[in-house]
Amino acid sequence: MEARRHVALKDSIRSIPDYPKPGIIFRDITTLLSDPRAFRRAVDALVHPYAGGRIDQVAGIEARGFILGGAIAHQLSCGFVPIRKKGKLPHKTVSMAYALEYGTDEIEIHVDAVKPGDKVLLVDDLIATGGTATAAVNLLRQIGAEIVAACFVIDLPDIGGAQRLRDMGVEVRALMQFEGH
């Protein structure tokens, strides 16, 4: 039954060729989010390994990680921490720059978003190069978090981001994989 569940979830992802540039297939989870059954199954599958365990905070990466992370935090009865693009958070923050294909970007988190030793589950919709996720892990560790795992709906293993996180000692869970870029 598990395999059937994941096939159904994979079928709820829209693939958009040549977006944002030629040769890229964009994996769009908005179709999964708009399907109540698929959305519930995805959240339940991401929550299941951690239910009954001690997770203090779920950290979601802007923007789809907010949607998934909020639902996961609710199910785990824990707090939610937003990781945002630079300049979007109102209180004192720490930031981390990371490389993009062409240039750099920066994410930030409130300095008091977690307490030292808090067990944190990092969530986003997709892991590709891992640039944002590795920056998020570094930010969370900088303010004292213990990263329990990083969870994603989709992994693009050919690009190597999940392996980058594993190389940092982070458990990575993804509900499905798509080959290519």
Q: Catalytic site residues? A: 64, 101
**CA–CA separation, 133 and 122 (whole Å):** 8
Q: 158: buried, middle or exposed (CB in 10 Å: 19+, 13-18, 0-12)? A: exposed
**Cross-strand bridge partners of residue 123:** 60, 151
- DSSP-assigned letters across all residues of 60-128: EETTHHHHHHHHHHHHHT-EEEEEEETT--SS-EEEEEEEETTEEEEEEEETTSS-TT-EEEEEEEEES
